[in-house]
Amino acid sequence: MRLSQGLFNVRPADAADLPSLLALYSELNPDDAPLPQTSADAIWSAISSQRGRTILVAEAAGTLAGTADCIVLPNLTRGGRAILFVENVVVAGSFQRRGVGRQLMEAAVRLGESAGCYKVQLLAADDEYVHTFYKACGFQALAEGFRRYLP
């Protein structure tokens, strides 16, 4: 299933993408210790079997340029329309400012539309550049997010 065809091909990730995904995530969170391969494989297995979960990847000439993790959350409000949550959005440094992030976010919105969602929601880092990017993609800062990190 192809979700976007522009400069980059946006599609759902598959098991063969795992090493490249892990490399992208290391750019997102450079202080994180690398996952042992057995752990990464087990987590990928859980993700790939999770209903409503799609990790999108943007690919250029066989190289993963970016990713966005999307999950459809069933919902008992809004007439039963679901919510699409987006997490772990990252574009490789060598591909930034080339439209990868915009294509990923457009594909996430289309994914939400096709699932009958009433909104696409994400949390963004406290970074003006990131906020400007999401606003340019049509997102609005309408709520204040809260987090509680667990040990």
pLDDT class for 136, splitting at 50, 70, 90?
A: very high
CATH of the domain at 50: 3.40.630.30
- For the segment 18-53, what is each residue's pLDDT rounded down to a tens digit? 999 999 999 999 999 999 999 999 999 999 999 999
The answer to whether position 119 is within a domain reads yes
pLDDT of residue 146: 85
The answer to whether position 8 is within a domain reads yes
The answer to whether position 129 is within a domain reads yes
pLDDT of residue 127: 87
- Full domain range(s) for residue 57: 4-136
The answer to whether position 91 is within a domain reads yes
Query: What angle (nearest 5°) sits at the alpha carbon of residue 8, between those of residues 4 and 104?
Result: 55
The answer to whether position 15 is within a domain reads yes
The answer to whether position 143 is within a domain reads no
pLDDT of residue 5: 56
What the block records as the tokens of 50 is: 């999770």
Q: What is the tally of structural domains in the chain?
A: 1
Burial of 68 (0-12, 13-18, 19+ CB in 10 A): buried
The answer to whether position 52 is within a domain reads yes
How much is the pTM? 0.91
Lowest mean pLDDT among 17-21, 79-83, 113-117, 142-146: 142-146
End-to-end CA distance of the chain: 38
The answer to whether position 150 is within a domain reads no
